[in-house]
Amino acid sequence: MQQTISTTPRASVGAQARSLLGLGLPLMGSHLAQMAIVTTDTLMIGWYDVTALAALSLSGAIWFIFFILGSGFGWAVMPMVATALAQDDERLVRRATRMGLWLSTLYALAVTPAFFFFEPIFLAMGQDPAVAKLGGEYMVFLGLSMLPAMLVAVLRSYLSALELPRIILGVTLFTALFNALLNYALIFGNWGAPELGIKGAGIASLTGSTLGIALLAYLAARARPEHELFRNLHKPDWEYFARVFKLGWPIGLTNFAETGLFAASTVMMGWVGTIALAAHGVALQIASLTFMMHLGLSQAITVRAGRAWGKNDRIQLRAASQAAMILSLIAAAITMVVFFAIPEQLIGLFVDPNDPDRPAILAVGATLLAMAALFQLVDAGQVMALGMLRGVQDTLVPMVIAIVSYWGIGLPTSYILGFNFGLEGAGIWLGLTVGLACACAMMQVRFWRRYTRQP
């Protein structure tokens, strides 16, 4: 959707920065809390059994691919609700959110049956039979968790657009704690519970997801009762069904393209060797943690840009976007300094001091963190551009840019630098940087030229 934006003077860049931090910091915290759930599952299963850990890692990665592909419908709700709020149209808020719930439910129901038959799929992929068996058992619970996870994504977007991120943070922290306690009981058989191993982790994940959506739905309905969020939930609204679908499917494919790029880089690191793969996993985990700062700010600017878009206010749109870029650049600069200053200490946190391969992993990991420092800057730039473009409901062209940049440029460059030029792990990560830099440049140019210039 394209429209003419007025030039009514609005708040300064500094005021917009304060508003973005008020919204973005709790969103960052909720993303970190969500990562803590995954980390807790991994740690506890790792303490329980190495084969179960392999099965959990494999299953979790595949589940996430399905999730990220369908998450676009939830993400699409955020700019649509923000724009509707700016126009004081409570009915449109309800229509967009309701159809986001519909589409997310239909997607979850469509993909869930596949999760009941993954043991033979794992065997066909060449996995160890013991890993395939445990992975197949765990996948059943992950499949059942897909529906609540999809619905949570929609309500997170709704509450973010309302600028009520503390509700999201509170529910996520509570769910993370509940999941950890239930894991401790069911995986190991503590507190009189049966010892279920990886099945216990699956039950904990499913129960936590179900509890999370129940809490979030209750709090979302109470947060703005005038929206009557769940009124006529059973009734189709084909106009907004089409609008959410049109905006959401490119977001899902964009997220999938980036996730796939990093998955492919992991496969290539395995070709380099075990040490390189281990160092890659640790460095990527560290980079993912710092990326949460930019992801939180990206979602915040989606809301602020959506509000400016709804008011047809070009000056507010530009000021909010400038503030978001400044905050993201400051965060990236701090991260770069840390990555360059203490890379071995950071990598060392994840490696057993008594592991004989520790020196080699630290050496490779330090090099990869130097590359990560470079791609933090361009990765921040591209995710901020995505946030701004989603705020003005521009998702189709950014999807094309992402696919071309990640898969047409980044992945081939990683292979050429890593193997043809013999740079191995450093070359693979440098290729990632090139792909992300292309996406960053093209998306930034599109936003600033198309949406912030004076008419």
The answer to whether residues 434 and 410 touch, using CB atoms and an 8 Å cutoff, is yes
Report how far Cα 370 is from the mean position of its chain's Cα atoms.
Answer: 23
Q: How far apart are CA 444 and CA 12, in angstroms?
A: 21
3 pLDDT band, cuts 50/70/90, is very low
Phi first, then psi, for residue 313 (nearest 5°) are: -115, 100
Domain residue ranges of the chain, discontinuous segments joined by +: 10-236, 249-455
**pLDDT at residue 270, as a whole number:** 79
Higher pLDDT, 372 or 167: 167
Q: What are phi and psi of 6, to 5 degrees?
A: -75, 175
Beta-strand ranges (E) seen in 44-117 are none
Predicted pLDDT at 396: 94
Across the chain, what does the average pLDDT equal? 88
Highest mean pLDDT pick, 30-44, 343-357, 360-374: 360-374
8 Å CB contact between 250 and 72: yes
Please say if the pLDDT value at position 4 is more than 60.
no
pLDDT in tens, 369-400: 888 888 888 999 999 999 999 999 999 999 99
**pLDDT tens profile 124-156:** 877 788 888 988 999 999 999 999 999 999 999
Lowest mean pLDDT among 112-126, 152-166, 266-280, 380-394: 266-280
Q: Pull the structure tokens for residue 340.
A: 């360059």
Confidence bin at 14 (pLDDT 50/70/90): confident
147 versus 63: which is more confidently predicted?
147
The span from the CA of 175 to the CA of 366, in Å, is 34
Q: Rounded to a whole number, what is the distance in angstroms from the first to the last CA of the chain?
A: 17
Residues 6+ apart with CB under 8 A from 445: none
More confident residue, 67 or 277: 67
Place of tokens 């009124």: 231
Q: pTM score, two decimals?
A: 0.86
Are 384 and 328 in contact by the 8 Å Cβ rule? The answer is yes
244 pLDDT more than 60: yes
Whether 7 has a pLDDT exceeding 50, the answer reads: no
Helix axes 50-70, 129-161, angle to 10 degrees: 40
* CA gap 57, 38 in Å, rounded: 10
Residue 402 is which amino acid? Answer: A
Which residues partner with 6 through β-bridges? 313
